Amino acid sequence: MKSKIVAPTHNGVSMYEGSVHNLRGMLVRVGKQLYDHGLVVGTEGNISARIPETDRVLIKPSGVPLGFLKAEDLIVVDLDGNRVEGELAPSIETPLHTAIYRVRSDVQGVVHTHAPFSTAFGIAGTEIIPLQVEMFLYILFLKREVLKSWQKHAFSNA
């Protein structure tokens, strides 16, 4: 049974609906900027945002290019990755995004691109080295924690 969000209202619009509306607009703008700046190609890359004070996330659906994303295309999923709202299929990268949100309650958004230059480095087997020690340590910590959360979640639902 899925829980319904009950939220206070302001001028006849629930705070939940207002937050979701604003986040949809923001994600559409970010998606267009990523596309326009060449950081994503085709339908690659994903963006998502945590809906404040809920256990829900807005995420780009599968198969929709970020440059052509419309507000109504975005899917609402819970932190387990189950679709709560929306007609399209959630991104296949939804488990990655929800694992980050489960591990880091302070994270409010995730941008995951397949930038052509970094993809080329990966294909060539060339490592992109973090330029600051803090970045290196943070990447190691986040990778470990997200992997643990994803594995625990994936195998508990199998």
Domain boundaries, given as residue ranges, for the chain: 9-128
Q: Helix count (H) and strand count (E) of the chain?
A: 4, 7
**Average pLDDT of every residue of the chain:** 82
Catalytic residue among 44, 53, 87, 93: 93
Q: Please check whether residue 115 is in contact with residue 39, taking contact to mean a CB–CB distance below 8 angstroms.
A: yes
Q: Degrees (nearest 5) of the Cα angle 94, 47, 29?
A: 150
44 is catalytic: no
Higher pLDDT, 131 or 114: 114
Tens digit of each residue's pLDDT (9 = 90 or more) over 4-60: 444 444 444 455 677 899 999 999 999 999 999 999 988 989 999 999 989 999 999
- Neighbouring C-beta atoms of residue 54, cutoff 10 Å: 17
Listed in sequence order, the residues at least 6 apart from 100 whose beta carbon sits closer than 8 Å to its beta carbon are: 107, 110, 142, 146
Query: Given phi > 0 = left and psi -120 to 50 = alpha, else beta, which region is 156?
Result: alpha
Q: What is the mean pLDDT of residues 80-90?
A: 93
Task: Give the single-character DSSP code of 90.
Answer: B
In this prediction, residues 123-133 reach a mean pLDDT of 74
CA–CA distance, 136 with 129 (Å, rounded to integer): 8
CA atoms of 28 and 54, how far apart (whole Å):
21
pTM of the model: 0.72
Domain 9-128 has CATH 3.40.50.2000: no
User: Tens digits of per-residue pLDDT, 1-16?
Assistant: 444 444 444 444 455 6
